[in-house]
Amino acid sequence: MPSIVALISGRGSNLAAILDYAKYTGAYKTAAVISNRPGAEGLKLAESQGVHTEVLDHTVFASRDEFDKALKQRIDAHAPDLVVLAGFMRVLTPAFVKAFEGRLVNIHPSLLPSFPGLKTHQQALEAGVRVHGATVHLVTAELDHGPILDQAVVRVREGDTAETLAARVLALEHQIYPRAIAALLHQTIRQTDGQVHGALAAPLAYDIE
């Protein structure tokens, strides 16, 4: 069975969806959950499901390079097929990204390439877009610009705030992230020379009422 290592920093909202999908479909196993923050709530979530957890506190390292080298060693010990960023709040070094090229996956709360970076929901509201959403993508050295694996769409409603928009987007993140992971692991979709080929078994996720 293919396996993943998930990296987290916080509560593990997407992690919960990833673990549940694995539990009910058997599409992959989670070899480990690694957090850069000792108190991350997602660690308790993983432990409650019998998943191995580790903490690698980034604050004890002198540089980003040193932390990423140590993190790579931790991941390599589990030999995963994919490394999944599930709310991992660290900018990864180019060397780390290169080491896991084609095997490093992230989800971003916007319809990339629109609104990369932070505060995406506020960016969307200020731009006046009619639709917003989330994107699962492969990670490259350029932040939030890797090949797109899946997307989900929500309509921006009159009176929306960044918080209400974020809540609807998050609900769809929980749908598309696990299925994109499974599709990539089982080669329903695949990446070659920066291009994604194939199709997901499920249709586009949306909330446009």
Q: What is the 8-class DSSP label of residue 10?
A: S
Catalytic residue (one of 108, 132, 137, 174): 108
Q: What is the 8-class DSSP label of residue 59?
A: G
Q: Is the pLDDT of residue 13 over 80?
A: yes
- Provide Rg for the chain, Cα atoms: 17
Q: Is the pLDDT of residue 65 over 70?
A: yes
What's the CA gap between 172 and 158, in Å, rounded?
20
pTM of the model: 0.92
AA letter at 101:
E
Mean pLDDT (the chain, rounded): 92
What's the CA gap between 184 and 193, in Å, rounded?
15
Q: Is 108 a catalytic residue?
A: yes
Residue with tokens 């499974």: 182
For residue 143, the model assigns a pLDDT of: 86
> How do residues 107-145 score in pLDDT, each as one tens digit?
999 999 999 999 999 999 999 999 999 999 999 999 888
> How do residues 167-184 score in pLDDT, each as one tens digit?
999 999 999 999 999 999
